[in-house]
Amino acid sequence: MKQLFKSIIAFIPFYIIFYFLMLFAWGKIVSDRFKLNLTTDRTYLSLRIAEIPKYKNVDILFLGASSAYRSFDTRLYKKIGYKSFNLGSSSQTPIQTKILLERYVKTLNPDIIIYEVSPRIFNQDGVEAALDLIVNDKIDINSIKMTFELKNIKTINTLIYTLFNNVFTENKDIKRQKDDNYISGGFVEKDLAFNENHDIPQNDKYILNEQQLEAFNKTLQIIKKKNIKLILVQSPIVKSKYEAYTNNKEFDEKMKKYGEYYNFNEFLELNDTIDFYDKFHLNKNGVIIFNEKLISILGLKNK
């Protein structure tokens, strides 16, 4: 028995190497639909990261999830003389926002940060956004720490695969949606479409993840230390969905304690069909209305 135990211990390094090699081969050869515990697709985040060196010393930096990179149209700010960059990413939670800000705030050096704080970003475990960050950005100690803190096999596999991929192969093209248009500066514009989901939502309640709140507080500390003006914004969702949540006021009160905060669901009149393409995202029409209102509230005038 003792000899068997020694043999098993001796073979552990070979098992690990075999697992790593098989994982890499699986990621390269197998169709995406069979990669249940692995993500290999590069997304629009890779384009944003590649553009950052061209966007030094911006006036405005946008942060957040898809409600940020699909809502804040950098072209509208450019029209009035403001240089801006959208560092939003898919399902970005405060855990990933903190990492991205630590990596790129020095280069982007913004005067103002507009942080989209949909309650949904505090309601998630952060796994989906972690996968996006691992595949599309550099791997460093923060990536590794994030991966193991999330304790998810998919993030661990994706980290291992990406490390091998970055060393041995060239990155493949990003995965694009046919109705999406990436705009230089980080905004993603969707072809004009209209929300047709008019089911009556059931009552729901936001449950805020303590790990996300902790990361959020650390992110705000970074911003404060850099002496950057911070504006918190909740972008609008369809009215019927918004009103289904029973603790909106509670969330608003929490955000107001952090500083300047605007919940556009409370004072911006939008049409659930005409101004959205789904329950959570503005279409072209809604994006223009939303940004024009935000520009007006913030008093951003032509430079």
pLDDT of residue 83: 97
pLDDT for 71-95, tens place per residue? Answer: 999 999 999 999 999 999 999 999 9
Whether residue 196 lies inside any domain: the answer is yes
Which of 197-206, 271-280, 286-295 shows the lowest per-residue confidence on average (mean pLDDT)? 197-206
- Looking at the structure, tell me whether residues 24 and 40 fall in a common domain: no
- The residue count of the chain comes to 303
Mean of all residue pLDDT scores within the chain: 89
d(CA 167, CA 175): 21
Looking at the structure, tell me whether residues 234 and 133 fall in a common domain.
yes
Residues 191 and 134 in one domain: yes
**Would residue 72 count as lying in a domain?**
yes
Helix (H), strand (E), coil (C) string for 255-303: HHCCCCEEECCCCCCCCCCCCECCCCCECHHHHHHHHHHHHHHHCCCCC
pLDDT for 276 beyond 80: yes
- The string of pLDDT tens digits covering residues 240-265 is 999 999 999 999 999 999 999 999 99
3-state secondary structure of 180: strand
pLDDT given for residue 4 in this prediction: 47
Give the model's pLDDT for residue 1.
Answer: 54
- Nearest-angstrom CA–CA distance, 72 and 234: 12
The number of distinct structural domains making up the chain is 2
Residue 122: DSSP 8-state:
G
**Is 155 found in the same domain as 59?**
yes
In the predicted model, is pLDDT for residue 270 greater than 90? yes
State whether 161 and 205 are in the same domain: yes
Is the domain of 3 the same as that of 119? no
Together in a domain, 22 and 40: no
- Mention every residue, 6+ apart, whose C-beta is less than 8 A from residue 173: 42
Q: What angle do CA 66, 175, 219 make, to 5 degrees?
A: 35
In a domain, 218, yes or no: yes
Does residue 303 lie within any of the structural domains? no
Q: Are 237 and 262 in contact (CB under 8 A)?
A: no
Shared domain for 121 and 231, answered yes or no, is yes
The span from the CA of 282 to the CA of 294, in Å, is 14
The CATH number covering residue 100 comes to 3.40.50.1110
Of 220 and 24, the structure prediction assigns the larger pLDDT to 220
Same domain membership, residue 128 and residue 107: yes
Q: Mark whether 88 and 69 lie in a shared domain.
A: yes
- Domain extent, residue 91, equals 34-298
Helices (H), the chain: 2-29, 44-51, 66-69, 74-79, 94-108, 127-136, 141-150, 153-168, 210-225, 239-242, 248-256, 284-298
Is pLDDT of 19 > 90? no
56 domain residue, yes or no: yes
